[in-house]
Structure 1
Amino acid sequence: MTTVGTELADRVLGGWLGRIAGNMLGKPVEQGDHWTRDRIDRYLRQAEALPLTDYLPVPVSAGVGFELRPEWRECVRGGIHGSCRDDDVDYAILGLDLLETYGFGFSTEQVGDLWLLRLPYLQTFTAERAAYRNLANGLKPPLTATYDNPYQEWIGALIRADVYGWTCPGVPRHAASLARRDAVLSHTGNGVYGAMWAAALISAAFTAPTVRSAIDTALMVIPASSRLARTVRRVLSLHETGLSWEETLSTMTEETAGLGWIHTVPNAAVLTAGLLYGAGDFTRTITLTVRGGLDTDSNGATAGSVAGVLCGAREIPPQWKDPLEDTVRSAVFGFDGARISELAERTVRLAEAAAS
């Protein structure tokens, strides 16, 4: 690991700010079967907001089909005063609490214990809600992931992975192993691989010379034959041929058809494309990723985390971080209203402890 001192602190803070900003950007249009890539861009054109360089604009009309999620007023330009509550941020906070409580030797069972203690049941969704119900009924891992859970390869475990990357900077295999231990509480197969890949990607971003290098490194921690790995490699190859971002995503939409808008694999395609065509630029990375559709707030959050680590908090443009007012809303007991800067400082202490 070569990232040390103030540089580490700035990059970790960049990861936190990037995750929260990207989540907020995507939240108003988080409904992938309705808010398609084409519909998102039609909304933005109607509001004269292309190219997109800031949070989503306020709707310019009450046009049918352009209704945003109910929380939109707290997530659009001019309406943001601190972050909205969202599970994509809750799980980063919960992961921080997990490592502070149990250390890096935590068990999958302890992940479940902390969910029951800190996380309200109705703030969980899909695979996490199935696993939570199984925990409450006395089941143990890995049955918590497999019993009556049709969401085992959806994106939930991937959105829980950031803290493992932030606390293992430049050590992607270790980050992936921690993410796997967390993920198997609720996921199997590509759902677990997605968490491992995301943790390794964020870890690699601390030391990788380019975003492409970080993606290549992250691919090394998951089975090469998995559908997730094949999909990420396919996006890499399309990008290499010189296809446009639009052409690449159109191709991937066809090739991942039928998996659903919350499945890990098609979302990893959108995320990979956003990172590659964003080319390390924070604004371009998160806006392309959200414009890619599907699980917009989750993809925006992970893209923002990677881009924030790559550039550091100081280089994140002010229109993204200033409205957050260094404040995060959270359903995790004991953390609502926490300072983002304090969460980042606590994360840095864990990273330094792990490296010592």
Structure 2
Amino acid sequence: MKASAYHYLQYEGHFAIERQQGIDEGRALSEAIEAHYGRLAAMTPGDPEREALAAEYLDEMRNMPMRPDYPFAEPSDLAGIRAERPPAAKLAAPLPAGPALEDKLYGAWLGRSAGCLLGQPIEGWRRERIAGLLGETDNYPIRRYLSSAIDRGIADKYGVKDEGGSYGNPCVSWINNVRHMVEDDDMNYTIIALAVLEKYGESFTPDDVAEAWLTWLPALRTCTAERIAYRNLMNGIDPPRSAGYRNAYREWIGAQIRADFYGYINPGDAELAAEMAWRDASISHEKNGIYGAMWVAAMLAAAAVTNDMEEVILAGLGQIPAASRLSAEIRTVLHWRREEVVHEEAIDRIHRKYDEGDPHHWCHTISNAMIVAVSLLYGGGDLERTIGMAAAAGFDTDCNAATSGSVVGMQLGAEALPEAWVQPLNDLILSGVDGFGLTPISQLAKRTCELAARGGA
């Protein structure tokens, strides 16, 4: 996820998203609040009065009552979430241990890195533009990383440029410009979760995660909900209030991309993986923003012990409220697969429901989780197919390919991953998390294995 340096610190940039978010979560909007919105929309950007009125609008929206006909039950507290879960089947497969576990964890780190690297250069592109570039470079379905070393006419047509890298990367991360896994927020959060577990142990709290962010993660390495939560934490607003206070992005994808590590260290234990993900997510997200993180963590825990992708997805759904929007949409994807809806039609259906040109849809947990589910189900346990489907689908390309690659990498293990997707990483990852820098991915996997072997502590 990309963001300009200060955009997410100005409340006047949030009020339109807040209105969409309020409608999504079932708020009954009064005539007065709608008039307030209209006044804000008509004001000149940058007007100091507009900033003050936007802050008031965010506060007022939090107090809007719920519609009496709202069909979903979506608590944010852990006890409430657990009370709303469906009956969940136990994962019965034997747990990996020793070298087998380390291979799976290394595979998860590599798969996550490969997916992220594939999707990063086209993050923010729309599906049509992605499809055009892939088609004209003979790379659809995706069979290799994306490169800027292509015909100049094609490059100009699709706006393929080398300058303008994100997160301090000197160039856009086309494969011809990289020598290792580059920095990305998707990977920074996986690494900071490792640091949290190493310092605070299995019983870490949301406050510990917040302290870790403030200690090890520069503020401008954060985006959307995380940046608002960071601001709140700096202003003395503690979790869980830090997640909801003037945070229009509380159901966006940020917590979902932070959750993988909690599945890594809890192989076979979807419930504990999801609980740890809740502790992390609850400092910046609410409702479906939290559920996305719990779903992903539980899936990773399941992927360590089963290659049945539907079982993996259902293990994730078993840890979130059955009557939530996220659960309903992922079950819709499962239904499509069972009804033999073809892959391209499944992606078309997501695009018909969610508009990738709308920032709220483009970066929301639910739309992107649906793409992850489609990619996992239709990818057939093949890393190349899975991350290729996730990146080509549009929406948040690097986030979705990273999550999908992580699950498949965990299932297959490092030894079974295709050399074409692993070798360009050169077993190195650059991180913006203080104390890491350029680190061997295999070393991160070894440290992860040590935590998993002793129960995360």
The TM-score, its normalising length taken from structure 2, stands at 0.75
What is the match of residue 276 of structure 2? Answer: 178
What is the match of residue 223 of structure 2? Answer: 125
What is the match of residue 372 of structure 2? Answer: 271
What is the rounded CA distance, in whole Å, between the counterparts of 1:86 and 1:322 in structure 2? 19
**Contact map agreement 2:106 2:413 (CA 8 A) in 1:** yes
What is the rounded CA distance, in whole Å, between the counterparts of 1:115 and 1:342 in structure 2? 22
Q: State the shift of 1:254 in Å.
A: 2.0
What is the match of residue 303 of structure 2? Answer: 205
What is the rounded CA distance, in whole Å, between the counterparts of 2:408 and 2:172 in structure 1? 23
What are the within-5 Å matches in structure 2 for residues 221-300 of structure 1? 221-257=319-355, 259-300=360-401
In structure 2, give the amino acid aligned to 1:307: V
Q: State the shift of 1:68 in Å.
A: 5.5
Flag the 1:53–1:65 CA change in 2: closer, same or farther, 3 A.
closer
Pick aligned residue for 1:84 from 182, 185, 189: 182
**Contact map agreement 2:263 2:301 (CA 8 A) in 1:** yes
1:12 aligns with 2:105: yes
Identity in percent: 42
Residue aligned with 2:177, SS: coil
Residue deviations 1:232-266 (CA, integer Å, cap 9, x gap): 00011111111111101111222334642000000
Q: State the shift of 1:64 in Å.
A: 4.0
RMSD value, Cα? 1.6
**Contact map agreement 2:121 2:172 (CA 8 A) in 1:** no
What is the rounded CA distance, in whole Å, between the counterparts of 1:304 and 1:52 in structure 2? 14
- Higher mean C-alpha displacement, 55-64 vs 107-116: 55-64
What is the match of residue 169 of structure 1? Answer: 267
When Rg is computed on C-alpha atoms for both structures, the one with the higher figure is 2
Query: How many residue pairs align between the two structures?
Result: 353
Residue deviations 1:193-212 (CA, integer Å, cap 9, x gap): 00000000111001123111
1:108 aligns with 2:206: yes
Residue aligned with 1:310, SS: helix
Pick aligned residue for 2:165 from 66, 71, 78: 71
5+ residue gaps, structure 2, are 1-93
- Higher mean C-alpha displacement, 329-338 vs 202-211: 202-211
Q: State the shift of 1:7 in Å.
A: 1.0
Residue aligned with 2:377, SS: helix
What is the match of residue 137 of structure 2? Answer: 47
Residue deviations 1:12-48 (CA, integer Å, cap 9, x gap): 00000111110000001100xxx22222111111112
In structure 1, give the amino acid aligned to 2:199: T
**Contact map agreement 1:94 1:332 (CA 8 A) in 2:** yes
**Contact map agreement 1:29 1:68 (CA 8 A) in 2:** no
Residue aligned with 2:155, SS: coil
- Higher mean C-alpha displacement, 121-130 vs 56-65: 56-65
**Contact map agreement 1:74 1:84 (CA 8 A) in 2:** no
In structure 2, give the amino acid aligned to 1:207: V
Q: State the shift of 1:75 in Å.
A: 2.7
What is the rounded CA distance, in whole Å, between the counterparts of 2:103 and 2:382 in structure 1? 16
What is the rounded CA distance, in whole Å, between the counterparts of 2:328 and 2:135 in structure 1? 34
Flag the 1:288–1:100 CA change in 2: closer, same or farther, 3 A.
same
Q: State the shift of 1:213 in Å.
A: 1.2
Q: State the shift of 1:65 in Å.
A: 4.2
